[in-house]
Structure formats: structure tokens, C-alpha cells
């Protein structure tokens, strides 16, 4: 029997679901490997029950999202968090670290039907069995994940930092150029795609389990970045999955005791 699979999205940008479809060479065969019961983004009729696997894109932003999420959790054996919004809350959840007055005027006060909730990743509300991180995930990663499920192989997360693949690709280290790259503390598996394009890593796949946050903070300070900038960057994609950065940064924090220095140019746009 084929695995019963559904692809769903709650509040998000549809980028992760698109990444599924953008597997131009594989998509038509891929959907044949499974019993695709639901994919509302491209399908008219969607039967939302008795799933083996539900892939969920998006974060919980209102009560509608929560209702959908809970129902699908109940109706599936395994829930897969697809992409950064579902896994970490991504950029929309960054609003927790901004001043309320920044977006307060955008809120319509009389709303009744859709109630805003704290923008949060789905594992704040339900149990998640697997994570495919990234904003968006590598499209091949999604295909491989499904293929693994079909042949009964347990999917394994990529645990080494982005720097591993970045070195393999022979990229010039952006930290050496004085740019605020978060590659050293970020889980890889993305083929260091942003640094391949000479753009620094913003950490969208979430921190590695054994990250050295102290050293990262110190390295960024050495390069002339102030603490607010460092905090903002680290929180943009994965703030809710980071430890209390302030504690690392305060005067008694261990980041202050590290002895490193940076002799390159300190000029990142400013």
C-alpha cells in the first residue's frame, strides 16, 4: 500500500510548497510514489483524514491556523514540519523582538473571527515528528525525504554547521571579509547556498546542537558589530529556538572572556 500523504500550508509564503513542485524533473513521478490525498495549493479535492504523513508549511499566526494544525495532527500518524516558518517561526515570529508600537497601527481592533495569536512555530502547539528546516528547504532535500519514507529508511537531520559544506564548495570565508556570517552556529544541509552567492548566512536552518554561541558573539563584536545588530540578526529567522542571547552578552557573560581579535577591515556597508 502506498503511503497516504498530505501537503498543507498555514500562514506562510507558499515558498516551501513551491519547492516541492519546483522539482521539475521528479514531481510527476514523485506523486506516483505516494497516495497524495491532499495538496490544496494545487488540488481541488482534498480529503483531510487518515494520513500517514502530513507535511506542514507555515507558522501559527491566528486561531484558524491552530484549528487546522490540531485537526491535521489528529488525523496523521506523523507530522513533518516543512521549512523555517513551521520549524522556528521564521521572519514573522521576529515580531516578538520588535516594539509593539511598530506594528500596532496595522492591527484592526474590532476583529472577531480571526484572532491573532503569538506568531509561533507549530511545535509550540503540537508534537512534531520530523523537521525539514530552511527558508525554504533545499528542494532536493524534500524529494529525498519522501523517497526515504517510501523505502522505509529513517530520515536523518543534518547536524554539521553550514561551514562544512561551505568549505567543500571552496567559498571565500565571509567572516574573514568582516561580514556577519552565522554559518558557524547554523545547521547545514543547504549546500551553503547563500554563501555560494557571496551573501552571509542569516541562520535560517536553526542553531546546531553544539554551537559555540560565545565565540560567535565575540567574533562578530571583533568585526565591529554592536550587540543590537548581533541580537537582531540571530533572531531574525530562529529567535524562538535560540537561547537567551542577552545572558551571553551581558557583562558577566563568558563571551567577554574570550581572547580573539580581527585584523581585517571593519567595513560592512556602514
Partner 1 sequence: MSKTITLNHITKIEGHASLSLGIKNDKVTKCELSATEGSRYFEGIVKGRRYYEAHEMTSRICGVCSCAHVVAAISAVENAFGYKPSKQTKQLRELMTLGERIRSHATHLYFLALPDYVGYGSALAMAKKYRKELQNALNLMKCGNGIIKLLGARELHPVSATVGGWLKIPKEKEIENVKKTLISVREDALKTFSLFSSLNYPEFETESVMFSLVDKNKYSVLDGTFSSGNMKTTKKKYREHIKEYQVPHSNANFVTYDNYQYQVGAMARINNNKKQLHNKAKKLLNKSKIKFPSKNPYTNNFAQAVELVHCIEEAIKLCDSLNLKEEKLDKLKVKAGTGIGCIEVPRGTLWHEYTLDKKGIITNANIITPTAQNLFSVQEDIKELVPSIIKKKKKDIIMDIEKLIRSYDPCFSCSAHFLEVKWV
192 contacts 201 by C-beta, under 8 angstroms: yes
**Smallest separation (angstroms) from partner 1 to the CB of 239:** 11
**CA angle in degrees (0–180, nearest 5) for 145-151-152:** 85
Q: How far is the CB of 228 from partner 1 (least distance, A)?
A: 9
DSSP codes of every residue in 182-207 = -GGGBB--STTHHHHTT-----TT-B
* Cell, residue 168: 567543500
- Cβ atoms 133, 83 nearer than 8 A: yes
Nearest distance in Å: CB 117, partner 1: 8
Considering the complex, state which of residue 31 and residue 215 has its C-beta at the smaller distance from partner 1: 31
Respond yes or no on whether the N-terminal peptide bond of residue 136 is cis (omega within 30° of 0). Answer: yes
Which C-beta is closer to partner 1: that of 171 or that of 212?
171
Closest contact distance (angstroms) between CB of 115 and partner 1 is 9
* Interface contacts to partner 1, rule CB under 8 A: 9-19, 21-22, 24-25, 27-28, 31-32, 36, 39-46, 59-62, 64-65, 90-92, 94-95, 98-99, 102-104, 106-114, 116, 119, 135-136, 139, 193-194, 196-199, 202, 229, 232, 236, 269-270
Residue among 110 and 257 whose Cβ is closer to partner 1: 110
- Integer Cα distance of 32 and 26 in angstroms: 10
Q: At what angle do helices 227-238 and 213-222 cross, to 10 degrees?
A: 130
* Nearest CB to partner 1, comparing residues 74 and 198: 198
Between residues 62 and 214, which has the closer beta carbon with respect to partner 1?
Answer: 62
CB of 189 to partner 1, least distance (A): 14
Q: Are strands 130-132 and 76-82 parallel, antiparallel or unpaired?
A: parallel
Amino acid at each position: 500500500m502506498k503511503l497516504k500523504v498530505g501537503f498543507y500550508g498555514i500562514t506562510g509564503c507558499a515558498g516551501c510548497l513551491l519547492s516541492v513542485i519546483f522539482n521539475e524533473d521528479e514531481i510527476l513521478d514523485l506523486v506516483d510514489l505516494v497516495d497524495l490525498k491532499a495538496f490544496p495549493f494545487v488540488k481541488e479535492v482534498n480529503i483531510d483524514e487518515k494520513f500517514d504523513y502530513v507535511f506542514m508549511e507555515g507558522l501559527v499566526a491566528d486561531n484558524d491556523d491552530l484549528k487546522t494544525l490540531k485537526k491535521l495532527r489528529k488525523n496523521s500518524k506523523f507530522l513533518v514540519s516543512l521549512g523555517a516558518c513551521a520549524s522556528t517561526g521564521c521572519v514573522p515570529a521576529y515580531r516578538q523582538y520588535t516594539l509593539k508600537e511598530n506594528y500596532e497601527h496595522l492591527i484592526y481592533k474590532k476583529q472577531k473571527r480571526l484572532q491573532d495569536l503569538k506568531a509561533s512555530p507549530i511545535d509550540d502547539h503540537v508534537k512534531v515528528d520530523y523537521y525539514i528546516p530552511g527558508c525554504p528547504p533545499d528542494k532536493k532535500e524534500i524529494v529525498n525525504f519522501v523517497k526515504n519514507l517510501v523505502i522505509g529508511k529513517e530520515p536523518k537531520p543534518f547536524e554539521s554547521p553550514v561551514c562544512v559544506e561551505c568549505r567543500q564548495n571552496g567559498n571565500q570565508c565571509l567572516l574573514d571579509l568582516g561580514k556577519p556570517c552565522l554559518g558557524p552556529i547554523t545547521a547545514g544541509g543547504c549546500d551553503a547556498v547563500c554563501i555560494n552567492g557571496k551573501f552571509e548566512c542569516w541562520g535560517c536552518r536553526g542553531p546546531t546542537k553544539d554551537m559555540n554561541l560565545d565565540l560567535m558573539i565575540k567574533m562578530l563584536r571583533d568585526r565591529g558589530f554592536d550587540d543590537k545588530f548581533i541580537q537582531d540578526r540571530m533572531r531574525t529567522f530562529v529567535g524562538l529556538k535560540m537561547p537567551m542571547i542577552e545572558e551571553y552578552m551581558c557583562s558577566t557573560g563568558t563571551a567577554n572572556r574570550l581572547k580573539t581579535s580581527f585584523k581585517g577591515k571593519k567595513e560592512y556597508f556602514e
